[in-house]
Amino acid sequence: MRRRHSVRLLGLALVALLTLGGVVLGQGTRITFIAQPWGAPDQALLADFTSRTGIAVEIISLPSDQLYSRVQIASVANQAPADVVYLSEEAPSFIVTPGFVRPLNDLVERDGAAINVDEIQRRDFWTIDGNMYGLTAYVQLVMLDYNAARLAQAGLSPPTTWDAFFNAAVALKQQGLDQYPIAFGAIDWSWFLMALSMGDPLFDADLNPTFNAPDSQGRRAMRLLERMFDEGLITPDVITGTTPHSIFWGGIGTLHQAWQGSLSPGNNPNISQQAPNVRQLLMPEEHWTWALDAAIGISQFSQNVDAAWEFIKFYLSPENQIAIFNGVGLIPSRLSAQDTINAQGRNQDFEVQVEQAEYVRPLPRQVTWWGQWTTEVVAQIRTMAAGQTSADAVIDTIAAQWLDLKSEFE
């Protein structure tokens, strides 16, 4: 069908872009690692890795959509987009199912004990039909954080309902304390976190939508997100893809769509103008959220598998995971690294995270159409944020798209 073959058609149309270039010349083995902007390893530790192993690593940093496009375009021509690939929630549908990622079973079987692979959490998400395509690099709950000082300045308490959340943002704007009080993206995640915490599971046990019922919390969440944009509570800059995190750290926004380790950068004065006032918030109302992990894997077409595997072992080392946490707040996938940052008090508001961990509801991110559907959800939300469609129309459209894709791929 048309959608099923879209990746291959894209590859044929853009074959001229397959010059992936940029590898630095020199002695020793050289590999490439393609990652999202927050996925780069600690530079000092990487230099030490190169010194010890002779393996030089070129880091290619791309936003998620460009990363997957690059992998797809190269892979349909049997070329490696990079030797090592960063895997986010869309990876199973976008690049694993088509066969673009190499299984790691043989490497893990050989070296798993030596690298203590058993302490790496949530590996099951990256294992499909018995093949392990990635090792978890970080584990995250999607959460909220906020500037406690600014909220107090407005005479407000941390909101426990979404109506209170919205009203707090209105008050902050009316008092002139924050022009754009809500730092949310024009993306699916903003809707997911609101709908889930309101109590909508989004899908039933048969993978049919629950969010499109007339009185569903998912519909309520989309309507509230629409109001946030319509009333100027979210900067329109996010419609073009600017991340809410850079906006928030730049000092704009009081209420922020965040993640489990977000206080590490949020309260770092070298990174954030919100420091030292950022605190985490238990999700309002029914409290539900979802886990949003990432992993690291090897291209099916890499000619440097051994070197790529050595890099993965380095990348997943406790030292590098702790360094990444210190930089951008990604919770290590290794239990020992988690224990270290918790014992040292680096993971701020840990007690809120423990409470939030009691309310985790998984989304069906392994279905083969997940990435395609979420891409369309983002497009619909951005159209709504620009005032070109309504929340109810978005809900009806994305529900129909889900059912269409489900019938096509099942």
Query: Is this prediction's pTM over 0.75?
Result: yes
How many whole angstroms separate alpha carbon 343 and alpha carbon 326? 14
Helix (H, G, I), strand (E, B) or coil at 255: strand
258's enclosing H/E stretch is strand 255-259
Please tell me the predicted confidence (pLDDT) of residue 64: 87
List per-residue pLDDT tens for the chain, 410 residues long: 434 334 433 333 333 333 333 333 335 899 999 999 899 999 999 999 999 999 999 999 998 889 999 999 999 999 999 999 999 988 999 999 999 999 999 999 999 999 999 999 999 999 999 999 999 999 999 999 999 999 999 999 999 999 999 999 999 999 999 999 999 999 999 999 999 999 999 999 999 999 999 999 999 999 999 999 999 999 999 999 889 999 999 999 999 999 999 999 999 999 999 999 999 999 999 999 999 999 999 999 999 999 999 999 999 999 999 999 999 999 999 999 999 999 999 999 999 999 999 999 999 999 999 999 999 999 999 999 999 999 999 999 999 999 999 999 98
Please tell me the predicted confidence (pLDDT) of residue 365: 93
Q: Where are the alpha helices (DSSP H) in 175-317?
A: 188-198, 217-230, 244-249, 263-266, 305-315
Q: Which amino acid is at 35?
A: A
Considering all CA atoms of the chain, what is the largest pairwise distance in Å, rounded to the nearest integer?
Answer: 64
Q: How far is CA 107 from CA 134, 307, 320, in A?
A: 11, 12, 20
Please tell me the predicted confidence (pLDDT) of residue 5: 38
Structural domains of the chain, ranges and CATH numbers in brackets? 8-140+292-354 (3.40.190.10), 142-289+367-409 (3.40.190.10)
Q: Residue 176 is encoded by which pair of tokens?
A: 């002139």
- Closest to 58 in 3D by CA, of 66, 46, 70: 46
Please tell me the predicted confidence (pLDDT) of residue 15: 35
How many whole angstroms separate alpha carbon 308 and alpha carbon 51? 16
Please tell me the predicted confidence (pLDDT) of residue 27: 53
- Closest to 380 in 3D by CA, of 403, 362, 397: 397
Which positions ≥6 away from 46 have C-beta within 8 Å? 57, 314
How many whole angstroms separate alpha carbon 108 and alpha carbon 70? 27
